[in-house]
Structure 1
Amino acid sequence: MAWTEAKQIAEAILDGFGRHYRLFREITGKARERFEGADWPAVQAAARERISYYDERVGETVALLRREFHLRDPTDILWRRVKIEYMRLLPLHHQPELAETYYNSVFCRLFDRRYYNNSYIFVWPMISTEHLEAEIPIFRPYYPARDGFARVIARILGDMGFQLPFRNRRHDIRCLMRAVRDRFPRRRALHQNFQLAVLSEPFYRNKAAYIIGKAINGADQIPFAIPILNDEGHEGAPGGLYVDTLLSGGDEISDVFSFSRAYFMVDTEVPAAVVDFLRPLMPHKGKAELYTAIGLQKFGKAEFYRDFLKHLRYSADDFVVAPGIRGMVMCVFTLPSFPFVFKVIKDRFPPPKEMTRETVKEKYQLVKLHDRVGRMADSWEYSHVAFPRHRFSSALVEMLETDCAKSLESDGDQLIIKHLYIERRMSPLNLYLHTADDEDIRHAIGEYGDAIKQLAAANIFPGDFLFKNFGVTRQGRVVFYDYDELCYLTECHFREIPPAPYPEMEMAEEVWYSAGPNDVFPEEFETFLLTDPRIRKVFRELHKELFDPAWWRARQEHIRAGHLEDVFPYPEERRFGCPDRVMRDGNDG
């Protein structure tokens, strides 16, 4: 009887996962329809809705188990049998790694953290995904040396399954041919079996679709991406698709898949096969980041934790307080040998901060659900994470016990942090600028201003523009990562500073004008931010419009009118910019 019940529970959990993945694929599979219909509000709504699917299905499965079964304590032999029965269901499954994670989520929702070990959940995966293949191959091979580059490019565009026609396919092919000649080896250097391997399904995000592939030239693999945009049509001109550029090389592709961008919509029966295709193309990104990039962030989170456990086993350095100015809301620490930071909400926030712990969590959830336009760091949120206490520096322990005591719990030689966020480590912009030369300052301030403008285009106002709240990535991109003051741009009231009643008041310590809770005075930015003359000069040259309240109000009106502005994950100069096209281009964030 116990084995029968265990089998029924295992099947119920897997049925819950099956429902989740069916719904996940259903909303993902409609991405082409939304893209070709230029239904950008629906694109954004679907991206937000899909993120919530996982937790909703886990909640439904937990409720069903509690209703239909007599769930004993996990130390009962029943739960070990449930895990065995669940494993028996997975060998022929096409998403076994995701199904294992779903099992973990259900179990952890039911029981206390002291049972979160490999005896009860899949801390380590049991089913290999290395040789998993979809019934329909995930990529198509093309042979330019045999069939000719122009013919192959035309075939690739045709094989993507777009129903909306290209505005000028011949012109797009010519643009791609010119880019291929610039980017890829000359014909005499091509291997006799030179091949283009192209994923069968486009990757959709915001106002763009990406064709993802790799050029295989002997032992070399050169990744590439072809962004496809929807011209939408206006002033009586018909709409249609067009090729915006050709991206190639690991750095350009990695930026498209950046942790600071929204998740892709790509329909796949076997996600492990897609990730295995992508991994050699972006060697700096692990499986966790790639699964997250295609919208499977819960498995990405599980895979990241496994990587973290392995790293702890094979490293000896201590966790330390993260470099930089300490924040008023978060305690931040890092492991120098591990490229991530750990953020814990403080117990109390000193004035002038007026918010609650729940407000901070809401801000992070807003970032998760919102289009990050390449300028806000995504994070993984964890509960009840066990750390080896002896690996914490004394300064870090003192900081956590002073500022985050309510989030800490001791369990033998382990320190349990009840709630934290984990993000990619970046160089704080204030520290970067402190040691930068004139050329680096110009680049960083250009990026900093662009980040503010692109966030504004996405209806995000950072709130606190201090350099310490922004980081510089490995590729020199400036990204915002401190969210406690963040709000929607349309919630702000941008005002001019009124004239002083008396000239003497301009020299007083206190301002002569009052400010409401949502009032923003852009003219103040220069006074508070640009104290270094070198930085002030560059900022005025590149971004002086950010001091103008009218510029901000114009952005608000643009958003309220329903216009989704263009923010590209590649430099403007890389775009083909074909002259016979109505230039109302789509975008990506």
Structure 2
Amino acid sequence: MEELKEELLSTDGKLDFAIGFKGTVAIGFQSPQSGYNLKVIRNTPTEQYKWGVFEGVPSVLEKYGRVHVINRTGSMLDNIIFYRVKLERAWFTNALLQELLNDASECVTLQGESLFFRHLIVQSKLIPLPVYLENSSQAESEAAIINLGHCIKNNMAANIFNKDLDARNYGVGVFGGVYLFDYDALEQFTEVKIRTNQNQFEGEEDIPEWFFEDGVIFLPEEIESGLRIPNRSLRQLFREVHGDLLQVDYYERIQDELGVGKVPSARVYPERYQIN
């Protein structure tokens, strides 16, 4: 935290909203001159939240804390949660200041010329994957999409499943690795129920049996639409390289291995740094 403060003092930088889309659960912010991204959890999620009842700020902080202590298999961004932190009010843009005070008032309060944070999540800065894909070459974009698939597989090897597979929850590091960095939608992978609609007959209107099951349900055939990657050729590349991620038996095999204490293989280096 002292390093961050020194960066702001030495560069006369301002903290503003993080690049990319605004989070539904967290407010992300950063300084252009800093190597860190900061987050606080909103009092309540935005209207785009799609996971039913919000379990509260402590539940989200618990997930970030869990990621900090587990084997992240080189595919989940580490984070540190600081508590009871003061930062100078002058370091924040007006728009960011107002959103923090309005939408994260359970965490952020104004105390004189300082903002007081009950919690503050600090992570290394990444480029959100959709932003990266908009500005990278075709070769760089293809490498990122391939590494995205490895990231998802590595997370499962650590018994972690991100039920919100939207590409906005992933970022690209300086060496091209892809990392999951938003953790409010994390689940223990062995507790996720893998189901499919592929056994439904065309035109059949019956509600599938899984619809009435409790817990987290995931349909592998929906992963491509869930990632929300607009580029058709990149979606096709994802299918070609990681077609197993669209198949029920792949997920069930990993769950079976985890269930008997076996550690599934993980690929911890970006695609272009593999030794042939």
What's the TM-score once normalised by structure 1's chain length? Answer: 0.43
For residues 375 and 502 of structure 1, do their structure 2 counterparts lie closer, same or farther at Cα, with a shift above 3 Å needed?
closer
What is the match of residue 413 of structure 1?
113
Q: Is 2:230 the partner of 1:528?
A: no
RMSD (CA atoms): 2.1
- Separation in 1 of the partners of 2:257 and 2:204? 39
**Superimposed CA distance per residue, residues 280-306 of structure 1 (whole angstroms, 9 cap, x where no aligned partner):** xxxxxxxxxxxxxxxxxxxxxxxxx22
- Separation in 2 of the partners of 1:565 and 1:398? 46
Q: 1:342 aligns with which of 25, 38, 41?
A: 38
What is the match of residue 379 of structure 1?
79
**Superimposed CA distance per residue, residues 97-135 of structure 1 (whole angstroms, 9 cap, x where no aligned partner):** xxxxxxxxxxxxxxxxxxxxxxxxxxxxxxxxxxxxxxx
Q: Is 2:240 the partner of 1:544?
A: no
What is the match of residue 329 of structure 1?
25
For residues 316 and 436 of structure 1, do their structure 2 counterparts lie closer, same or farther at Cα, with a shift above 3 Å needed?
same
Shift in Å, 1:459: 1.2
Shift in Å, 1:362: 1.4
Structure ranking higher on relative contact order (CA contacts 8 Å, 6+ apart)? 2
- Separation in 1 of the partners of 2:146 and 2:93? 37
For residues 550 and 515 of structure 1, do their structure 2 counterparts lie closer, same or farther at Cα, with a shift above 3 Å needed?
farther
Contact 1:500 1:512 in 2 (8 A): no
Q: Is 2:176 the partner of 1:476?
A: yes
Identity of aligned residues (%): 27
Contact 1:317 1:336 in 2 (8 A): yes
Alignment of 1:217-228 (within 5 A): none
- Separation in 2 of the partners of 1:574 and 1:436? 24
For residues 331 and 573 of structure 1, do their structure 2 counterparts lie closer, same or farther at Cα, with a shift above 3 Å needed?
closer
What's the TM-score once normalised by structure 2's chain length? Answer: 0.89
- Separation in 2 of the partners of 1:417 and 1:345? 11
Shift in Å, 1:499: 4.4
Shift in Å, 1:503: 1.7
- Separation in 1 of the partners of 2:256 and 2:212? 22
Contact 2:153 2:266 in 1 (8 A): no
For residues 439 and 515 of structure 1, do their structure 2 counterparts lie closer, same or farther at Cα, with a shift above 3 Å needed?
farther
- Separation in 1 of the partners of 2:148 and 2:100? 31
Shift in Å, 1:409: 2.0
Q: Is 2:139 the partner of 1:443?
A: no
Q: Is 2:32 the partner of 1:316?
A: no
Q: How many residues align?
A: 266
For residues 541 and 433 of structure 1, do their structure 2 counterparts lie closer, same or farther at Cα, with a shift above 3 Å needed?
same
For residues 501 and 570 of structure 1, do their structure 2 counterparts lie closer, same or farther at Cα, with a shift above 3 Å needed?
closer
Contact 2:163 2:187 in 1 (8 A): yes
Shift in Å, 1:558: 0.8
Match for 1:352: what amino acid? Answer: K
Contact 1:318 1:393 in 2 (8 A): yes
What is the match of residue 26 of structure 1?
none
Match for 2:109: what amino acid? Answer: E
**Superimposed CA distance per residue, residues 517-575 of structure 1 (whole angstroms, 9 cap, x where no aligned partner):** 32110111123334421111110111011000110000000111211233354578538
- Separation in 2 of the partners of 1:483 and 1:569? 19
Shift in Å, 1:437: 2.8
Q: Is 2:88 the partner of 1:388?
A: yes
For residues 515 and 316 of structure 1, do their structure 2 counterparts lie closer, same or farther at Cα, with a shift above 3 Å needed?
farther
Contact 1:371 1:458 in 2 (8 A): yes
Shift in Å, 1:444: 0.3
Match for 2:70: what amino acid? Answer: H
Q: Higher Cα Rg: structure 1 or 2? A: 1
Match for 1:421: what amino acid? Answer: I
Contact 1:459 1:559 in 2 (8 A): yes
For residues 397 and 515 of structure 1, do their structure 2 counterparts lie closer, same or farther at Cα, with a shift above 3 Å needed?
farther
What is the match of residue 63 of structure 2?
363
Match for 1:495: what amino acid? Answer: R
Match for 1:427: what amino acid? Answer: I
- Separation in 2 of the partners of 1:533 and 1:363? 33
Moved more, 544-553 or 360-369: 360-369
Shift in Å, 1:471: 0.6
- Separation in 1 of the partners of 2:269 and 2:91? 40
**Superimposed CA distance per residue, residues 400-459 of structure 1 (whole angstroms, 9 cap, x where no aligned partner):** 122101212222211111111000000000111123332112100111000011111111
Contact 2:244 2:250 in 1 (8 A): yes
- Separation in 1 of the partners of 2:126 and 2:274? 26
- Separation in 2 of the partners of 1:394 and 1:469? 26
Q: Give the gaps of 5 or more residues in structure 2.
A: none
Name the one with the larger helix percent.
1
- Separation in 1 of the partners of 2:274 and 2:11? 43
Q: 2:133 aligns with which of 416, 420, 433?
A: 433
